[in-house]
């Protein structure tokens, strides 16, 4: 109770503080795992978007994930170099690059997802399965209400 390293109740009484703290921990843990494979969180996000919604024009990828198109170009470039993504010029509009996940990319995403779930299991260890679902449902509603996340 008198732990000299305990966080101030003034802060732990704020859900936003807890959100920020636990979120950062989650992010850091996953990023660390991905770094082992030479990947970053954006790489996973791009692979996920392609897997879920199919091929995208690069610009649409950027828009969907809320990244600067210039930064997206770099991420896609790295994924392409690693063979996890294919870029082909759209014949209908030769300015566009259509980005598609390769078989290798889909396999990589599956592994990444497994890593993410492992991290999540560790983070949410103190909660029961039912509580985790509760938490997820609540967070999802908050997330959807965030600006730029219309369902």
Binding site for DNA (CB under 7 A): 31, 35, 40-42, 57-60, 62, 67-71, 73-74, 76-77, 87, 93-97
The residue among 59 and 132 lying less far from DNA, judged by its C-beta, is 59
CA 59, 64, 68, 74 torsion-angle sign? negative
Per-residue string for binding with its own copies, 109-138, x by CB under 8 A?
x---x--xx-xx--xxxxx---xx-xxx-x
148 binds its own copies (CB under 8 A): yes
Rounded CA-CA distance 121/129 in Å is 10
The sheet with strand 56-57 has its strands ordered as 56-57, 97-101, 85-89
Among 36, 92, 129, 146, binds its own copies (CB under 8 A): 146
Q: Is the separation of the CB atoms in 78 and 41 below 8 Å?
A: no
Largest CA distance in the chain: 68
Among 42, 48, 54, 58, binds its own copies (CB under 8 A): 48
The answer for residues whose C-beta is within 8 angstroms of residue 73's C-beta and 6 or more apart is: 58
Shortest distance (Å) from residue 39 CB to DNA: 11
Q: Is the separation of the CB atoms in 63 and 71 below 8 Å?
A: no
72 binds its own copies (CB under 8 A): no
Residues in touch with its own copies (CB under 8 A): 1, 3-12, 14-27, 29-30, 44-45, 48-49, 51-53, 60, 63-66, 109, 113, 116-117, 119-120, 123-127, 131-132, 134-136, 138-146, 148-151
């Amino acid at each position: 109770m008198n732990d000299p390293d305990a966080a101030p109740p003034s802060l732990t009484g704020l859900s936003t503080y807890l959100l920020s703290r636990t979120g950062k921990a989650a992010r850091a843990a996953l990023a660390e795992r991905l770094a082992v494979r030479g990947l970053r969180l954006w790489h996973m996000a791009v692979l996920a978007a392609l897997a879920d919604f199919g091929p995208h024009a690069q610009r649409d990828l950027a828009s969907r994930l809320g990244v600067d198109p210039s930064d997206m170009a770099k991420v896609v470039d790295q994924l392409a170099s690693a063979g996890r993504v294919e870029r082909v010029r759209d014949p209908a509009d030769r300015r566009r690059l259509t980005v598609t996940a390769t078989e290798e990319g889909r396999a990589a995403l599956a592994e990444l997802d497994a890593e993410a779930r492992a991290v999540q299991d560790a983070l949410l260890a103190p909660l029961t399965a039912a509580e985790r679902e509760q938490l997820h449902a609540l967070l999802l509603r908050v997330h959807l209400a965030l600006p730029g996340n219309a369902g």
